[in-house]
Structure formats: C-alpha cells, structure tokens
A and B are shown apart, each in its own frame.
Chain A
Amino acid sequence: NAGVTQTPKFQVLKTGQSMTLQCAQDMNHEYMSWYRQDPGMGLRLIHYSVGAGITDQGEVPNGYNVSRSTTEDFPLRLLSAAPSQTSVYFCASCSPTGGIYGYTFGSGTRLTVV
C-alpha cells in the first residue's frame, strides 16, 4: 500500500495564482483532512471530510476550497494565492471505526507564495 500520497512535494506560486494540491489514499479510509503547518507551530485544520460528497470547514478555511467526489481523493484548491499561505500542507486519512490507529499522514507539500 502506498498510504497517503501528496503531489507536488514543492511548489512556488506567484501572488494571485491558483493551484490544486493533490491527495490520494489507497486504504479505503472514510475520513480525510487537510492541515497546514507554519514554522515552529503545530498543525491547523483547514478542511475535512467524513466521506465522499461530504466536506466541512476546519479552523483556517479561508482562501481554500475542497471537494470529495471519491473515497480515494481529496484535493485542496488555493483560489488566489497570498504570501500568508506560504506553509507546509499535510493531507491525512483515518478509518472512522474508533480511529484507534490514528491518522495516516502524507509527506507534505511545501508551498511558497511570492
């Protein structure tokens, strides 16, 4: 199993550009989430999904959109990139059956907005 795969690993955007960060998992997990991690800080929840067709906002959703058309994929769209969105983005997935195994995280996308 590949686990959680994020692409790209690195990206530089100009202010105002849009892009999509891809996330795919092959573990048939119902729950998926997007987090951002800023230097010296923990992770903050952007958006999450409890199943295909269901998404909801987390702590810092502004400037981001998500959709969940399949169980496997959970892309994160930046609508109009701003320097404040420079961060490392992590996608994670989890089984809802008690969540006893915790979340499985991808290796991250390091985004720089100039």
Chain B
Amino acid sequence: DIQMTQSPSSISVSLGDRFTITCRASQDIGNYLSWYQQKPEKSPKLMIYRATNLEDGVPSRFSGSRSGSDYSLTINSLESEDTGIYFCLQHKQYPWTFGGGTKLELK
C-alpha cells in the first residue's frame, strides 16, 4: 500500500499567517492527490484535486503544489473559517490512502 505521511499533525496559526501542510508519498503517485477540509461533525470537503487544481468556490488563498514526492497545501493569509482538519488522499493505486490529518487551530 502507498503510505501518505502528512505533517504537521497539528498546529496553531495566527490570523493572516501563511501556512503549509505537506504529504509525502511512499511511491510515485503522479498528481493523483487531493486535499480535503473537515469541520467538526461535518463531512470532508474537497479543496484541491489533481494536486494543484482549486475546487470551485474554494478561496484563492488556498493552493496546491508538488515537489517530487512531496505534495503541499498552502493557505495564504489565514482566516478564522480555515480552521479544521485537513487530509490528503492519493488515488493513484488501490487501496486509496489518506494522510493522517493536520489539525489547524487559531492561536
């Protein structure tokens, strides 16, 4: 199975800060990676697909990038509504696997 190592597992960030979450894939996954945001007691919400594509309606302060086997989600100028847990997901190879999650809180 492809392991997705996500970091950090949690972080407190100030409003207006820039923040990056990274998922490292244990094997090549091409750009078959998506990012999801999950609020408490809610279903995950698609934020980024195919590594770099912003889902409709997602603010432009969110962006996705890739460097080798590292995939990153960056939030520029954090807003209060951005808190929650973020997961990456690889869908290159079965079984599709998620990262362990990053809990983003406000300082």
- Do the two shown chains form a genuine complex with each other? no
B interface residues with partner A (beta carbon < 8 Å) = none
